[in-house]
Amino acid sequence: MKKKHRKLMLSIAVSTILPYQVVATDTTDIGIIDVHASQLTGYSSLKNYTPQISSTATKTDTDILEIPQSISIIGQEQIQVIGAESIMESLAYTPGVSVGNNDSDIWESFYIRGFKSRRIRRDGMTYQVDAWDGQAESYGIERVEVLKGPSSTIYGGDEPGGTINMVSKRPTQSAHNELKVEMGSSKHKLLAVDTGNKIDDDGIYSYRLIGLIKDGDGFSNNTKYQRFYIAPSLLWQPTDNTTLTFLSEFQRDNATPLEYGLPKEGTVVSNPNGNIPRDASIVEPGFDESKVERYSLGYILEHDFSKTLKLYHSLRYFHASNELQYMKFGDFQEDMRTIERNGASRWLRTSKQITSDNYLQTELDILGVKHKVLAGFDYSFDELSSERYDISVTNGDLDIYTPTYGNAIFGELEYNNGSRYEKTEQVGVYLQDQFKLEHWSFTLGGRYGTAEWGEKPYDGSAPYELEDDSAFTGKAGAVYLSDIGLAPFVSYSQSFKPQGGSDRLGNRFDPTKGEQYELGMRYRNKSEDTLVSLTLYNLEKTNVRTTDPIDPEFSVQTGEITSTGLELEVQSSINDVLSVFGGYTYTDARTTKSNNPEEVDRATKNIPKQQFSLWSDYNFKEFDLPELKFGAGIRYTGEINNDSYKISSHNLVDTMLSYNQKDWKLQLNASNLFDTRYAEGAYNFFYGEQRQIKVSYTYHW
């Protein structure tokens, strides 16, 4: 790819591991520099809201137009402009994705194309053992990429809806220093720093150091949060052909979360006493708490043997501990005001993970056709210890409409037999070929993966009961690259996910399987500042467990879930003063096969059929005020069918106002500007966040 002249905000770090020459420019925008990169990669920061290159879909640096699968990419500039402080918030304007909404600040939950996904990836490798390992800090992320549909061919076992890959901020060889101070509603306070530069004159060594502290109250009674985060990284580049990047982070979260939510009567369905107050919670002061501490250490090695042969090797160790203690509730009493808080839980969890990805990438010319071939293997090992206790509660009943706290009496810890050790080991070998024939670009891939998993009681009363399985998954896609920027594509992809248990005859359950057919169209203009995508898909998950018709105490694998949908996405800098991003989603996810007739044709819980979002920001350059920018967005979530009741639709409006000088920026964000009341959930329910106002000051030097 030819070198391209690109303007980047200093607040958007130069994340590619290749060397840069940096030339300062005279501009009114804060911290803008000119970067002449020898190559644009899937780890580079975006020059605006519009992505050009991704490595998430293929593990190779591939032009977005040549990827025959739907993918959404959110850069750090977009994250900052909407004021997102979590990965979930950063995806608020992304089609095909809906997020779990609660006031816990301790875990992440995503729905992609109607399927729940609690495992995310970082820098192309599996990250975290499960959702209880805490939330990722968005300030340490360069970009978030959502690959939609089955992706087991290059990533192994997972749900068929898709995967989320976070790209870490990496060392930069140009001076980058950023200090950010933020204050807001609910006593929110934040202090962050992001600094990096080359260490020696030759640029053989460079570094990046990111740190953050924040705290505040949740919007529900008796909830709060605190976070400490630090992420040092180092780049060693002994030659032009070899780079070794060391990445690490440490994070500690203390919170009193609304873990168990609220009942549906009074939140999403009627209650004779009216709606439950928005700030209501069952949290008992001094009892409910969550302490998450986690760290990761790893590296990425890249070596070019020649212009056409490249080696990639990565390795990471992840560790997390979680102490979680929370109240639970049962049914309403007859007055439909008083909640029975007659129990509580305490969890002590420790997660450990080792993951590695390794491949060779080569370019071949076969009978005049250029091929980019990827051959590799990956490995992951997860181990989880979960120590659980039940706690009896007396005098804990709570009038949720006019709560009085402090009367609950707690019993002794009682060992829960659900306490256990778990481990999962997965190995996969994969092969991928990308090649072109005139205006056509093709991608073919296959993977053979094996998995071994099992659990044993925490008290050591029994050994591991291990199960193993294997699966082959494939993908195939084609894109037509027109001369006017239109790129229609068609693709087929598969996924699998191991699952434990056995049927009535003692036969182990096979992995669930996913299969997707996708038809789409992309358009990108010649200046590469507008990208529009339209996608239609049909996605099926089979081998789903359903009731055994002979013995209902067991299950058989004859169930099926189908998701059919349409997604439209736009990311555009329309001109030098006006930019937009957002999209429309239609998702019809439902059970299509089950031995329980009541489940057939039932919509998947917590999945809205329709979503719409649109953000636009305007720079007042035409009024001789290029330093001033105003942005506003709307997010619509349609009605949700949950069995016998419906969750109403809602609209949210967000706004932003910023003022830029050369080395500082002042920004005001207001989310849910009109303080719209809404709730969502599947079993227990959570109110959406109330209006939040934040003011941030960012200084560069």
Does residue 141 carry a pLDDT above 90? yes
Does residue 10 carry a pLDDT above 50? no
Q: What is the mean pLDDT of residues 54-74?
A: 96
Q: Which domains are assigned to the chain?
A: 5-700 (2.40.170.20)
Conformation bin of residue 631: beta by default, left when phi > 0, alpha when psi is -120 to 50:
beta
DSSP 604: P
Q: What is the mean pLDDT of residues 270-282?
A: 94
Average pLDDT, the chain: 90
Cβ distance 197 to 108 under 8 Å? no
Closest CA to 696 of 661, 658, 654: 658
Tokens 């439209």 label which residue? Answer: 568
β-bridge partners, 28: none
pLDDT tens per residue, range 309-362? 999 999 999 999 999 999 999 989 999 999 999 899 999 999 999 999 999 999
pLDDT at 33: 31
* Tokens encoding 300: 């990425």
pLDDT at 8: 30
DSSP 11: T
Alpha-helical regions (H) of 28-84: 76-81
Q: What is the mean pLDDT of residues 244-261?
A: 92
Cβ distance 240 to 224 under 8 Å? no
> Residue 131: CA atoms inside 13 Å, Cβ hemisphere, count?
16
Q: Which residues contact 195 (CB under 8 A, 6 or more apart)?
A: 176, 177, 178, 208, 209, 210
What sign results for the dihedral spanned by CA atoms 80, 84, 86, 91?
A: negative
Does residue 5 carry a pLDDT above 50? no
pLDDT at 684: 81
Closest CA to 182 of 684, 682, 667: 667
pLDDT tens per residue, range 87-114? 999 999 999 998 865 555 677 878 999 9
Rounded Cα distance between 528 and 568, Å, is 18
Cβ distance 374 to 431 under 8 Å? yes
Q: What is the mean pLDDT of residues 266-281?
A: 94
pLDDT at 19: 31
CB atoms within 10 A of CB 615: 23
pLDDT at 100: 66
Phi, psi of 209 (to 5 degrees): -130, 120
Does residue 645 carry a pLDDT above 90? no
DSSP string for 172-212: -SS-EEEEEEEEETTTEEEEEEEEEEESSTT-SEEEEEEEE
Rounded Cα distance between 165 and 147, Å, is 8
Rounded Cα distance between 34 and 237, Å, is 22
pLDDT at 554: 84
Its pTM surpasses 0.75: yes
pLDDT at 105: 60
Q: What is the mean pLDDT of residues 643-661?
A: 93
Closest CA to 691 of 674, 667, 669, 668: 674
Rounded Cα distance between 145 and 130, Å, is 19
What are the C-alpha distances in Å from 345 to residues 264, 282, 414?
Answer: 21, 13, 9
Rounded Cα distance between 563 and 541, Å, is 9
pLDDT at 167: 96
Rounded Cα distance between 64 and 52, Å, is 6
CB atoms within 10 A of CB 595: 17
Does residue 197 carry a pLDDT above 70? yes
* Tokens encoding 262: 């609220």
pLDDT at 189: 97
pLDDT at 102: 53
**Counting beta carbons within 10 angstroms of the beta carbon of residue 274, is it exposed (0 to 12), middle (13 to 18) or buried (19 or more)?**
exposed
Closest CA to 257 of 453, 55, 108, 73: 108
- Edge to edge, what strands does the sheet with 110-112 contain? 97-99, 110-112, 115-117
State how beta strands 120-122 and 162-168 pair. parallel
Q: Which residues contact 341 (CB under 8 A, 6 or more apart)?
A: 282, 284, 327, 328, 329, 330, 393, 396, 397, 398, 408
Rounded Cα distance between 316 and 353, Å, is 8
Alpha-carbon Rg for the chain in angstroms? 25
pLDDT at 670: 98
Does residue 2 carry a pLDDT above 80? no
**Counting beta carbons within 10 angstroms of the beta carbon of residue 604, is it exposed (0 to 12), middle (13 to 18) or buried (19 or more)?**
buried
User: Would you place residue 27 in the very low, low, confident or very high pLDDT band (cuts 50, 70, 90)?
Assistant: very low
Rounded Cα distance between 174 and 566, Å, is 42
Does residue 288 carry a pLDDT above 70? yes
DSSP 65: G
Residue 180 vs residue 576, higher pLDDT: 180
Q: What is the mean pLDDT of residues 257-267?
A: 87
* Tokens encoding 425: 């080991």
Q: CA triplet 299, 303, 305: central angle to 5 degrees? A: 165
When mean pLDDT is compared across 110-124, 392-406, 600-614, 658-672, the lowest value belongs to 110-124
Rounded Cα distance between 528 and 636, Å, is 28
pLDDT at 344: 95
